[in-house]
């Protein structure tokens, strides 16, 4: 089961925010009015802070909303516009990123997007060759973590385990070889693309 955390977080912010606003605009003035009427009827209670606190006390649900709303709002802003954590789901990025690794993604490198909807509202930059990016394809709900090989206008070809971008062979430097858990011989190369150097397995 895939949990849509951004959607849940957005709804949590909306609900706690609405309850806090309801208390601020409606419920708290009612409590203060009720306290004023009580003091008018029982003037002796006016200086008793304990009695006053009971009359002005927020209901438990409203109190939780006031407590959680600023925290949830801060988390929503951070995750939606600044940084978001992701976990590596597959071995496709080895040896640079291993399964289970956590990475912190810069959310504003490619522009600011609305939470949940994903609509871009501010265009800041575009993916460049060699960068690692997180994206969700339009036909799936799962996120992918991949390296950018080609950008719009590029011609990309993969032939005999060699990568060509715009008919130029991407340079490889042999590093080492080892035998993995299944007994396969794995060769490690360093590849250079877009001014970045990283290791790949063959």
pLDDT along the chain (202 residues), means of 10: 75 95 94 89 83 89 95 89 85 86 85 76 84 85 87 92 90 89 88 88 85
∠ Cα 52 41 59 (to 5°): 35
What per-residue confidence (pLDDT) applies to 70? 95
Taking the C-alpha atoms of 92, 127, 135 and 154 in order, what is their torsion angle to the nearest 10 degrees? -70
The single-letter DSSP state of residue 181 is T
- Which has the closest alpha carbon to 191: 129, 103, 101? 129
| Sign of CA pseudo-dihedral 76, 77, 80, 83 | negative
Confidence (pTM): 0.68
The one catalytic residue in 90, 92, 120, 161 is: 92
What per-residue confidence (pLDDT) applies to 1? 46
What gap in Å lies between CA 186 and CA 62, rounded to an integer?
Answer: 59
What gap in Å lies between CA 60 and CA 20, rounded to an integer?
Answer: 12
What gap in Å lies between CA 16 and CA 194, rounded to an integer?
Answer: 45
DSSP string, 34-92: HHHHHHHH-GGGGG-HHHHHHHHPPPHHHHHHHHHHHHHHHHHHIIIIIEEEEE--SGG
The one catalytic residue in 54, 120, 146, 161 is: 146
What per-residue confidence (pLDDT) applies to 122? 79
- What is the number of alpha carbons within 13 Å of residue 183 lying toward its C-beta? 0
Establish whether 120 is a catalytic residue. no
What per-residue confidence (pLDDT) applies to 32? 92
Establish whether 92 is a catalytic residue. yes
- What is the number of alpha carbons within 13 Å of residue 125 lying toward its C-beta? 10
Pairing verdict, β 144-147 and 156-159? unpaired
């Amino acid at each position: 089961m895939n949990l849509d955390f951004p959607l849940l977080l957005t709804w949590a912010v909306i609900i706690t925010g609405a309850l806090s606003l309801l208390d601020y605009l409606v419920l708290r003035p009612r409590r203060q009015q009720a306290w004023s009427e009580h003091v008018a009827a029982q003037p002796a209670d006016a200086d008793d802070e304990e009695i006053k606190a009971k009359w002005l006390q927020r209901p438990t649900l409203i109190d939780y909303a006031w407590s959680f709303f600023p925290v949830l709002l801060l988390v929503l802003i951070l995750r939606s516009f600044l940084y978001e954590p992701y976990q590596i789901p597959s071995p496709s990025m080895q040896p640079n990123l291993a399964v289970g690794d956590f990475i912190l993604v810069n959310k504003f490198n490619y522009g600011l997007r609305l939470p949940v909807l994903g609509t871009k509202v501010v265009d800041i930059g575009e993916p460049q060759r060699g960068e690692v990016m997180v994206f969700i394809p339009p036909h799936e709900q799962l996120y992918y973590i991949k390296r950018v090989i080609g950008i719009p206008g590029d011609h990309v070809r993969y032939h005999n385990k060699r990568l060509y971008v715009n008919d130029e062979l991407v340079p490889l430097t042999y590093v080492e070889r080892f035998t993995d858990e299944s007994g396969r011989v794995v060769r490690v190369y360093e590849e250079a693309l877009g001014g970045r150097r990283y290791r790949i397995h063959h």
